Amino acid sequence: MGKQNANAQLSKQRKAIRNATVRKKPAPQTVESVTKRKKISNAYYERELAKLQIELVKLQGWVKHKGLKVVVIFEGRDAAGKGGVIKRITERMNPRICRVEALGTPTEREKTQWYFQRYAQVLPAAGEIVLFDRSWYNRAGVERVMGFCSEEQYQEFLRSCPEFERMLVREDTILIKYWFSVSDEVQESRFQARVADPVKHWKLSPMDLESRDRWEDYSRAKDEMFAYTDIKQAPWYVVDADVKKLARLNCIRHFLSMIPYEDLTPEGVELKPRKKAKAYVRPPISDQTFVEDHYGTEYRNQRGKKK
């Protein structure tokens, strides 16, 4: 009898434990829940970005010193954050060494040229880095989906592109290709943010609006593009871009890892006292036309009112 009571008591305890540990059905994921889970602090982001930008300056010096030719392609969904990464890469670099190419719609004359011709014209010379904000892959993406090229032109691109890129690599061009991947929900939230923010209205083009209704078409085009152009000599590297700050840090870190470089930063320069000019008389400042110091005056007035 005592044994039965003990077993009954044990059974009750086990049932209580099971009831206490039953998991609730998880709530459906939202943009906010996904990004919040991956979110990083501004302080951490700024600190790590500063470190990476120092390394980018070192890389820049190495590219110039060794006469390297570097091409970096940034492709991906609309509002995936490609421009933000490019901005952080170039922010501290010399524009004479590292430049951005974002070619617009081809002219009527360019439409009659070899498709890769206008891109070839802006490829880097020795000691240069070129970042393509969109590239020749327009043909496999927007042109394919929106019907801006014929089926024959599209098929020719799929045949020619891998050979074009292999040719660049054989000519000692370092070619790095990034695809920025963003979820449907996050892309939509960024489109909505552009609608709400006046300084971002220009980012929301008619083509962006059209792409909202063609998500699956763009997915199929991207899959087929990868099937043909994800080649050994120039593979695609996919960046998870749902969280912009993480995408920027991860992409820049990966870019730095792709090119072995050394720190050629010169030793600290000692600034000697300036030599005084002889027999120089500066013309009156009143003879010069200055820009109005509007904000300096406004700031001082506001400070005076608070006192």
Q: What's the rounded mean pLDDT across residues 160-166? A: 98
Q: pLDDT over 70 for what percent of the chain?
A: 88
Domain that holds residue 90: 31-257
Q: What pLDDT, on a 0 to 100 scale, did the predictor assign at position 14?
A: 44
The answer to whether residues 78 and 211 touch, using CB atoms and an 8 Å cutoff, is yes
Q: What is the mean pLDDT of the chain?
A: 88
Q: Can you list the alpha helix ranges (DSSP code H) found in the chain? A: 2-21, 31-38, 42-66, 82-90, 108-111, 117-120, 142-146, 151-170, 184-196, 206-212, 215-229, 244-257, 294-306
272 domain-assigned = no
CATH number of the domain at 141, please. 3.40.50.300
Asked whether residue 290 is assigned to any structural domain, the reply reads no
Query: How far is the C-alpha of 112 from the C-alpha of 234, rounded, in Å?
Result: 27
Q: Give domain status of residue 21, yes or no.
A: no
Poorest-pLDDT segment among 76-90, 195-209, 239-253, 257-271: 195-209
Q: Which comes out higher in pLDDT, residue 55 or 9?
A: 55
How much is the pLDDT for 12? 54
pLDDT tens string 57-85? 999 999 999 999 999 999 999 889 999 99
Query: Higher model confidence: residue 263 or residue 276?
Result: 263
How far is the C-alpha of 40 from the C-alpha of 15, rounded, in Å? Answer: 41
Give me the number of domains the chain comprises: 1
Is residue 295 in some structural domain?
no
Domain annotation covers residue 5: no
Neighbour-count burial of 42, counting CB atoms closer than 10 A to its CB (0-12 exposed, 13-18 middle, 19+ buried):
exposed
